[in-house]
Structure 1
Amino acid sequence: MMHGRCTLSRTLWIGLGALVALVILGAMADDGREATSLLGQPLIAQTLPDDVAADLNEKLDRAHADWIATPDDEQAIIWYGRRLAYLGRYREAIEVYSAGISLLPDSYRLLRHRGHRYLTIRQISHAIEDLTRAARLIEDHPDAVEPDGMPNARGIPTSTDHTNIWYHLGLAQYISGDFRAAYDSFTHCAARSTNDDMHVAAAYWRFLAHARSDGFEPARAEITFVTPHLDIIENDAYFRLLLLYSGQANRDEIAATTNGVQNATLNYGLAMWDLLNGRPEAAYEQFERIVDGPAWAAFGSLAAEAELARRF
């Protein structure tokens, strides 16, 4: 079953058969763009390998069927949106989440996911608004592991409802240039982290937020917990960059490993190393190379755009 990119119309049955008409507006612009970069450039969804696209579309079909069957179910809404986003259909995912929020206005999980995808399409103020509200709504709720849509090598999820809300809020604040607010959000995230992967991810961005506010050395004092022996499942790029920032790794060795899916992440971290160590021209050349690459949905690419936008 194919899900068109033009206007989506879905008739939703709520409760015991009451009919609610909900139109999900077409999400893609006519030119195929999913977003406009912070530098004003169109951002187009990447073409996936045929086998990957086929697998993701099959999973999307199942998620769509679940959503049609139970359109007011929080998890059905979330997974339909997530499956759209994995295919690069971020605006459609946002429309699905928005429809869900109209039914479940106090769902911090829906706000978390919509906030994430607002961040992806560079609508930073909307992301901050959603994630701030999610943080307020979840405050008195117990934490729960968030299932992975694309499991890591061990099949062990590393994030939770609380950590994901604070993590993405911190990212949105960091991108906006509000480094002190970002530092506070990543501190909340780190305090709720229960494994080395999440702790390292929060510590990486918190370090950068602190360094941008107060300088390299004060920030460095907060990453003394980092050792080569941490048990890292999936956040290897952040881990290696923290080893560099803490003086336990060599820049050139890390730079030699920046091929693959984590390119934008590693290259942004290396550029920040240059910037914080008095080599701004090298840093900005690296930022430009990052934004010229294909991985525009990566947080490293978004952060590089923000650096260039702030400069000009």
Structure 2
Amino acid sequence: MTEDSTRERSRRTLESARSHFQGDPSLANTVWYGRVLGFRYRIDEAITVFTEGLERFPDSFELLRQRGHRFLSTRRFAEGQADLARAADLIEGMSEWIEPDGIGNELPVPATSIQFNTWYHLALAHYLLREWDAAEAAYRRCLEWVRPEDYDGLTACNDWLYMTLRRKGDDAAADQVLGAIPDDLPDGAFVEGPSYYRRLRMYRGELRPEDLLNPDKGSQVIHDLETIYATQGYGVGNWYLYNGEMDRAREVFEQILQGRSRFAFGYIAAERDLWEMAGGDPGRVTIPA
């Protein structure tokens, strides 16, 4: 499928979502319209849709989970954490609930549960806020909701858990995470792509850091090369950081920020690390507009 045809499908999906929302701003239509805006990186508009939706549906765990995610995209980490924590409280005790696609969807959106997505993004909020114990607990809750053969979710959640444990200094627990990952998973086992699996394999010594810094788009139809680089590169930068190679870590993080994937979690986390490495002085961190 060509880039033009993918862009056209995205345009049609957005037009359909907007039309249904304008005709009937129901909870389902509100959630889906905001999600599609987010898919197109119109993040501020998505947050507005979710916020207005919460005025109509104040106890919607769906809207809280979605707005919390997009707050993280805009570096509003504490606000994202608050939304996601409330969503987690609201879904406690629920049976697995798969987030539904909207009418007229033409996008390859993997089927995932509200439970997985809420705990995954809540854990990331804690990670970005440097709340390591809370991040570990949330990632472990997230793993409880990984569906069978969902290797995207399995590897993404375990990768961030591994990084959290290394940041905590619990290397033994981090090694246990690596031991729980299946060997020899083919690229075709992943819907969104094997970037997180490649990071985990690098931590295990099966791939070199350089292998991840020269990414191949391969079967990753959902992401562009800059997003793949931000994702794989953040794992590499962290690897250097854990091993005391601060200059090499900084170099990788700075290279990530030269790309355009500013809403990728790897980009956001690299930006956060560079700010911290500069002593919290934004004047010492070059962040592209």
TM-score interval, normalised by the smaller of the two chains: 0.7 to 0.9
Q: Deviations over 1:202-249 (max 9, x none)?
A: 100011011100244441222202233344332410011111112333
2:228 maps to 1:262: yes
2:55 maps to 1:112: no
Q: 1:196 is matched with which residue?
A: 151
Q: 2:286 is matched with which residue?
A: none
Task: Verify the 8 A CA contact 1:226 1:243 in the aligned structure 2.
Answer: no
Residue range with higher mean Cα deviation, 255-264 or 288-297: 255-264
Distance in 1 between residues matched to 2:130 and 2:106, nearest whole Å: 30
Aligned AA (2:177): E
Task: Verify the 8 A CA contact 2:9 2:106 in the aligned structure 1.
Answer: no
Q: 1:309 is matched with which residue?
A: 275
Aligned AA (1:211): R
Q: Deviations over 1:25-51 (max 9, x none)?
A: xxxxxxxxxxxxxxxxxxxxxxxx776
Distance in 2 between residues matched to 1:271 and 1:77, nearest whole Å: 38
RMSD: 2.0
Count of matched residue pairs: 260
TM-score, reference length from structure 2: 0.83
Q: 2:12 is matched with which residue?
A: 58
Distance in 1 between residues matched to 2:146 and 2:7, nearest whole Å: 33
Distance in 1 between residues matched to 2:100 and 2:247, nearest whole Å: 41
For structure 1, the 5+ residue unaligned runs are 1-48
Q: 1:17 is matched with which residue?
A: none
2:235 maps to 1:282: no
Report the 3-state secondary structure (helix = DSSP H, G, I; strand = E; otherwise coil) of the residue aligned with 1:106. Answer: coil
Residue range with higher mean Cα deviation, 86-95 or 130-139: 86-95
Candidates 201, 209, 212, aligned match of 2:164: 209
For structure 2, the 5+ residue unaligned runs are 218-224, 279-289
Aligned AA (1:247): G
Task: Verify the 8 A CA contact 2:215 2:228 in the aligned structure 1.
Answer: no
Distance in 1 between residues matched to 2:274 and 2:213, nearest whole Å: 21
Candidates 18, 21, 24, aligned match of 1:67: 21
Candidates 191, 210, 217, aligned match of 1:233: 191
Report the 3-state secondary structure (helix = DSSP H, G, I; strand = E; otherwise coil) of the residue aligned with 2:50. Answer: helix
Aligned AA (1:74): L
Highest CA radius of gyration, 1 or 2? 1
Q: When you count strand as a share of all residues, which structure comes out higher?
A: 1
Report the 3-state secondary structure (helix = DSSP H, G, I; strand = E; otherwise coil) of the residue aligned with 1:100. Answer: helix
Q: Deviations over 1:49-94 (max 9, x none)?
A: 77655443332221111112221x2210011111222222111111
Task: Verify the 8 A CA contact 1:226 1:246 in the aligned structure 2.
Answer: no
Task: Verify the 8 A CA contact 2:213 2:229 in the aligned structure 1.
Answer: no
Q: When you count helix as a share of all residues, which structure comes out higher?
A: 2
Distance in 2 between residues matched to 1:158 and 1:245, nearest whole Å: 28
Aligned AA (1:61): E
Distance in 2 between residues matched to 1:304 and 1:53, nearest whole Å: 28
TM-score, reference length from structure 1: 0.77
After the TM superposition, list the runs of 4 or more consecutive aligned residues in structure 1 that deviate by more than 4 angstroms.
49-54, 147-152
Aligned AA (1:224): G
Aligned AA (1:242): L
Cα 1:273–1:150 shift into 2, 3 Å:
farther
Q: 1:250 is matched with which residue?
A: 208
Trace 1:91-106 onto structure 2 (pairs within 5 A).
Answer: 91-106=44-59
Distance in 1 between residues matched to 2:123 and 2:75, nearest whole Å: 15
How many percent of aligned residue pairs carry the same amino acid? 32
Task: Verify the 8 A CA contact 1:232 1:239 in the aligned structure 2.
Answer: no
